[in-house]
Chains A and B, each alone.
Chain A
Amino acid sequence: MNAVSSTILAYVVITVLLWVYAGHLFLAYRRALQASASKPCK
């Protein structure tokens, strides 16, 4: 693996890791909100 591809891959890794995790959290939060909203009030 040469220096250019190492560098590009490092940027891809960071970008994907951060934004995929953020997207996952957004979706999980939405789902959790909807699940809690559908629960009957005590």
Chain B
Amino acid sequence: MNRKILSCAYWTVAALAFAGVMGLIYFWTPFAIDPNDGKPIIFQKILYFHLPVAINTFLACTVCFAGGIGYLVNRQTWWDDLAAAGAKVSVVLCTGVLLTGMLWAKGAWNVWWTWYSPRLTFSFMLWLLYVVYLIVRSSVEGSQRRAVVGAVYGLIAFLDIPLVYLSARLLPDQFHPADITLSPSMKLTLAASFVPITMIALGLVFLQYRLHRVQRGEVVGPLTLPGLGMRPSLTGGAA
């Protein structure tokens, strides 16, 4: 099948699923009820996008980590492009996690930010680590040297992921509960919201990866995704 059609179909399904989940959250999913006063907790609905975006941030960081290891083992440039793509997408997703988290905090506790939540602090550290990754990459000269520095830095930055995950379980955290109790319909909505967010996150990683390949002058890489018209269609056949 034509790659452009596949790409169009992929992003259309992602957009429709995104809109569908929005409808599900708005029209179907009940509000969580505050056990203290019996009132609905409106901002709890932020969870249905906050959590999937957070999990997909981990996924993008894992892509960066795997790309770094792949480059150190194989020394092939496409691993480095994959690692850079993972890092860029993780910064965007982590920005989303922090912003929605801040809006949740403002609604729930009337503060925009608190340093008393270990998970919040480690999440901010994660964002900072990958922003610095991008700065370090852009400041190192020489393609090979940049790739090695990026790969090693990516491995170190990845160590923050277990800290983010385990911090709410191992350290006292009054803002992020270790476990969340949800009704079956809430669980269904949460599971459904993972579909479009994961599709978008994977699509973004592949788009970013393909962009890096083209910018490097390598139009066709080992990972050719449903996506994205190929060079021959623009050049009239010459690959």
Contacts and interface: CB of A to CB of B under 8 A. Distances in A.
Interface of A: 1-4, 6-7, 9-11, 13-15, 17-18, 21-22, 25-26, 28-29, 32-34, 36-37, 41
B214 A33 contact: yes
B13 interface: no
A29 B104 contact: no
A17 to B, nearest CB: 5
A10 B50 CA distance: 9
Nearest to B26: A11
A18 to B, nearest CB: 5
Interface in B30-88: 41-43, 45-46, 49-50, 53
18 contacts: A3-B42, A6-B46, A6-B106, A7-B43, A7-B103, A9-B103, A10-B43, A10-B104, A14-B96, A18-B197, A21-B204, A25-B204, A29-B214, A34-B234, A36-B219, A36-B231, A37-B231, A37-B235
Contacts, number: 86
A31 to B, nearest CB: 9
B207 A22 contact: yes
B192 to A, nearest CB: 15
Contact of B104 (A6, A18, A22): A6
Nearest to A20: B92
A17 B56 CA distance: 14
